[in-house]
Structure 1
């Protein structure tokens, strides 16, 4: 099981010397650090702990100018080793580091009272009181406090034992998940191997051969090899200092602040909803430095009137982050500590300060199955919920929700319409709203059978994009809840009301049309036979189609419903297979009429074209 120890404390309080005494490894790796005797960037080591195994250690700089480097290494710490020099006590960076560790929710803390060889007993006791006051009221109150003089080896073994006890008491990390990610803190190349990125694995487990995604950027890469603590391994677990040799990208495209992850685990984003823990007053719209993973990102923080403790961070450049990830906010200038937080919505929609829905969207993390959480989100919006709205509410991306959505569709607990989702109950309710809207339009316009889809949906209060609308109407038509013709819709129970004069003309026209059989007369021929002008014939065709007594086969070619039914009987008698010529001869028509009629029957699924023949489809 992998764990991470992280140092913290004021500059020159002996953090690096203590790590070297504990591990035999000097974590300072930069020439400038050696020359100045001060840690500037992150340093790394490891210690073997009885009953646990090899534990990673990250050594962070204590100077206030390098606080962003400290933040890059402090994320994901299991045990914080707070170093306080006995001859100085608690100092400004001690307090700031302590606050950061609280905000990042380090699980446990051990205090190392360093440089005890430079202090007398009174100074040591004073320093202990100083530390106790700092820890009072925090989750770390009463944590172990070990006196050490690292340069002389005093107290080092005791400290190592105490760290072992604390680590062994920690709950095990979940290292089984495939949703791993690695905040990148170093990038370099090795001759003969290529690009290497390092960091502390934050979640899950990564294996040799895994496909990975680089964010921000989106490059897909492959993990060629893995090292942990300088030794080759076939995998690495959350909490381990990890070096990944990757292929598929260029070193020039990589830098601290990016993350490498299993595809779909993190999101590239410039807008994040967070649960906020303030340590100083924040102004709405204030410019901040957001520390996420191993990176520092400039942006602004926005507060909400209706959701205390919730804020939105909008970044000037994209970052990679995931739901539940911790972050720290500092003022842009001077870079004072402002707040910490937990990412609730990694890829959020910008919202106004007065937005009343933010409290509904930003819900605490739940242990219930994802499918149930999706249904809970859907139930809050009777007129449909977009996929991106579900993602925002749950703080997860579409890839992560894909399996749950698919299961809900298969079990028919949710219905999807090109990115808009309804529960079956919501679908039934929406269908009735649309049918009610149609009934209202029919009552207001009794001479019109079909009404434009846009008019019907506006009346019903359905404001969807075109593609989801088409899918919705298709489903309604399949279930015969509405009738559709072209761009028009009609209630299935509606019957157009004809005037006596129109009814009389329709009866005459139908009688004439049926005399012609399969050889459909045009408007001019019908006008002469029925004793009415061609314009009146075209209007009565339209009305006949709307009442269902006339069938339009193609432009200018109309048949009575009875003639179509007789022709379908002929088709079935010709079956199971026949040609256009056989149909033409059986109906006494010509190709001019036979082809459109057979195309009509194909569309009506009475027949199916196979090569030059038609196959009769069983009813």
Structure 2
């Protein structure tokens, strides 16, 4: 457990820690000379159970609030210190605001310097403090009166800290290791040492880690947790890590950097979050304001983008995007503090929601709905935040994005997906994650709808993608519908032929008269399969009535026997399948590069006049997608056109 002090300058925070632990946390010569804390200090107290309570002492002077923020980011329990002869002061208010915005929910109040006032005056001060705290997380907390001079009340406070059941703030060991650095120094015989409170995961001696945002790979030579040498540090521990690396120098590392699990990429320049502006602010926070963003121990100058409206009013909250010119580190659920451009006052704070934010469409409804789901899950302290989010997953979420924003360890992913009710569906470029029950219901809806469609359209294979989507898609996007359709097609739940979807038990057939006519048509088209005659020439040659012939060709197309490439010109399905396979082979040979119209014409041996109509047909069918200078394969040939089973 980590206990942190908070309070105005010269209210006795450092002396209180010394009275509790016998450790003077003012280690700098200037601190001793001036009699004030400048940097954060640390001390430890053993409990009867053999555990350690870590104390973080923060400076109270307004000029050193940045240092205070670096120390406060990892504490579980706040000791709000108020001097009896002073009462609530400006930094008392600012420190409390910071603690609230950092998500601290437990603490106690210590009224110090009681030897300087009488009992009656002390009671008046306590009543004023209670009034000040009536809307804060300390409204029902314990109060202690103490004198650092004669040590009155110190024993009671110490006994309370040693005996009370103070619960660590909710953190997940299933997440990747992250530690924000608050100190870096060198030690004779050891080398470079960094300290901080572990935000998530665990670290072991000899593990490899990465220094962010620099990206430098390091190794952990030794660990001290709660001031004791150990081989492992876990989430919530106050740790010192002895690091080594290729030509590692102390000046390469500074407060604000992070030590994270090796291979972890959390570096960003743009994040979405939820910001609450303090009601004590005199004016609104405008869109495009330049402010300071504090996450962990890092302090980043950013530009603020308000995602709804043009400002956030005092006492109000809103979704925002932070944009930085430099790399910084964050993940979903991180608490942050914002200060004004000159870093002279604290404006408010909130939660990071999407650490992989994009500029495009940031104000669109889809993004706001996503941010609301993330916020509701975090604020509810739900262990099934991912499940809450998946209620929106009618269109799926990118697997790598989801793992990144939740910072899930690779060896915990399968369990995490299962516990959250999610299913991972791979594709050529990666994987999408859907809610499992939604996918199961989608399968049932597709099969039921197809059977009903076949009952009313028994003489054709089935619907094309657009008809299918209108019948079953609901609020899904066409792209996601197509993705899930491909998935259940590969499972064999449904089948596809010439871009027509059907149930495996469905067997459409031509009536005898139409079958005889098709055999005649098939023979003529096959004679010149890459340049078949147009139907205006074909029907007179075969003595087929034009109107009846048009109806027949439409039915043959529905059944997947022929494909209409352009007006009045049809190709046999087997020819189209063979050409589609050649296109797929061409695209695969190009790798990530696009193939050109000339390359397409070379491999297919089509005429110049048929090249563009065929490419446009493949675009419409979903086989290819067009770019300004060429095309790429969008879906596999077997997925789009299937194979003739009969």
CA contact (8 A) 2:112 2:148 kept: yes
Deviation of 1:463 (Å): 4.9
Unaligned regions of 5+ residues in structure 2, if any? 531-537, 543-555, 563-570, 580-637, 639-646
CA distance in 1, matches of 2:77, 2:105: 6
> Aligned-pair distance for 1:297?
2.0
Question: Equivalent of 2:75, from 74, 77, 90?
Answer: 77
Q: Does 1:185 align with 2:188?
A: no
Partner Cα distance (1:431, 1:335) in 2: 63
Q: Could you tell me how far 1:58 is from its partner in structure 2?
A: 0.9
Other-structure match for 1:341: 350
Name which of 25, 28, 32 aligns with 2:26: 28
Residues 263 and 464 (structure 1), Cα distance of their counterparts in 2 relative to 1, 3 Å cut: farther
Secondary structure of 2:137 counterpart: coil
Partner of 1:241: 238
Q: Which residue of 1 aligns with 2:320?
A: 312
Q: Is the 8 A contact 2:424 2:432 kept in 1?
A: no
Whether the 8 Å contact between 2:201 and 2:234 is mirrored in structure 1 is: yes
**Cα distance, 1:496–1:102 mapped onto 2, change above 3 Å:** same
* Greater gyration radius: 1
Cα distance, 1:453 vs structure 2: 9.0
Tell me the equivalent position of 2:266.
267
Partner of 1:225: 222
Provide closer, same or farther for how the CA distance between residues 243 and 41 of structure 1 changes in structure 2, counting only shifts above 3 A: same
1:402 equivalent among 392, 413, 416:
413
SS of 1:342's equivalent in the other structure is strand
Alpha-carbon separation, structure 2, partners of 1:509 and 1:553:
16
1:330 aligns with 2:339: yes
In the TM superposition, residue 153 of structure 1 has moved relative to its aligned partner by: 3.9
Point out the more displaced range, 425-434 or 323-332. 425-434
Over 3 Å counting, the alpha-carbon distance change for 1:333 and 1:495 in structure 2 is farther
Relative to structure 2, which stretch is displaced further, 420-429 or 93-102? 420-429
Query: For 1:557-604, what per-residue CA distance to the aligned partner results, in whole angstroms no more than 9, with x for missing partners?
Result: xxxxxxxxxxxxxxxxxxxxxxxxxxxxxxxxxxxxxxxxxxxxxxx9
RMSD of the TM alignment (CA)?
Answer: 5.2
The 5 Å alignment of 1:144-293 reads 144-165=142-163, 168-171=164-167, 177-179=173-175, 180-248=177-245, 250-251=248-249, 252-262=251-261, 267-280=266-279, 282-285=284-287, 286-293=289-296
Cα distance in 2 between the residues matched to 1:364 and 1:551:
52
Residue number among 125, 130, 138 corresponding to 1:140 in the alignment:
138
**Residue 87 (1) aligns with residue 85 (2):** yes
Does 1:420 pair with 2:432? yes
2:241 is paired with a residue of what secondary structure? strand
Contact 1:257 1:296 in 2 (8 A): yes
Q: How does 1:396-475 map to 2 (within 5 A)?
A: 399=410, 402-404=413-415, 407=418, 415-417=425-427, 418-421=430-433, 423-426=439-442, 463-464=478-479, 473=486
CA contact (8 A) 1:273 1:310 kept: no
Please give the alpha-carbon distance, in whole angstroms, between the structure 1 residues aligned to 2:351 and 2:573: 65
Does the C-alpha gap of structure 1 residues 419 and 296 become closer, same or farther in structure 2, counting only changes over 3 Å? same
- Which of 460, 485, 492 is 1:479 aligned to? 492
- Counterpart CA distance in 1 for 2:319 and 2:422 is 36
- Structure 1 residues 227 and 373: CA distance shift in structure 2, 3 A: closer
Give the whole-Å Cα distance in 2 for the aligned partners of 1:115 and 1:549: 95
**Is residue 412–residue 424 contact of structure 1 (8 Å, CA) maintained in 2?**
no
For the structure 1 residues 287 and 477, does the alpha-carbon distance in structure 2 shift closer, same or farther, using more than 3 Å as the test? same
Using a 3 Å threshold, how does the CA distance of structure 1 residues 554 and 84 change in structure 2: closer, same or farther? Answer: closer
Does 1:364 pair with 2:377? yes
CA distance in 1, matches of 2:391, 2:47: 50
Contact 1:9 1:83 in 2 (8 A): yes
Q: Could you tell me the TM-score, scaled by structure 1's length?
A: 0.67
Deviation string 1:344-374 (CA, Å, 9 cap, x unpaired) is 444344554463524345432467775x945
Unaligned 5+ segments in structure 1 are 514-520, 525-531, 537-541, 557-603, 605-619
For the 8 Å contact 1:15–1:59, the answer to whether it is kept is: yes
Q: CA deviation at 1:237?
A: 4.0
TM-aligned CA distance change 1:481 to 1:12, over 3 Å: same
In the alignment, which residue of structure 1 is the partner of 2:38? Answer: 40
Contact 2:275 2:320 in 1 (8 A): no
Alpha carbons of structure 1 residues 477 and 226: separation in structure 2 relative to 1, 3 Å: closer
Find the counterpart in structure 2 of residue 294 from structure 1: 297
Task: Give the whole-Å Cα distance in 2 for the aligned partners of 1:205 and 1:360.
Answer: 28
Deviation at 1:44, TM superposition (A): 1.0
Instruction: Classify 1:209/1:133 alpha carbon distance in 2 versus 1 (closer, same or farther; 3 Å).
Output: same
The offset of 1:200, in angstroms, is 2.0
Distance in 2 of aligned mates of 1:508 and 1:120: 112
Mapped partners of 2:492, 2:337: distance in 1 = 53
How many Å separate the matches in 2 of 1:117 and 1:362?
46
The verdict on how the C-alpha distance between 1:310 and 1:184 changes in structure 2, with shifts beyond 3 A counting, is same
In structure 1, how many angstroms separate the alpha carbons of the residues matched to 2:140 and 2:197? 28
Cα distance in 2 for partners of 1:149, 1:278 equals: 36
Q: Following the alignment from structure 1 to structure 2, what is the Cα–Cα distance between the partners of residues 346 and 260? A: 17
Q: Distance in 2 between matches of 1:369 and 1:62?
A: 36
What TM-score, normalized by structure 2, do the two folds share?
0.65
Deviations 1:291-329 (A, max 9, x none): 211122222444454998442341413333333332222
Structure-2 change in CA distance of 1:115 and 1:490 (3 Å): closer
SS of the equivalent of 1:70 reads helix
Separation (CA, whole Å) in 1 of partners of 2:157 and 2:136 = 22
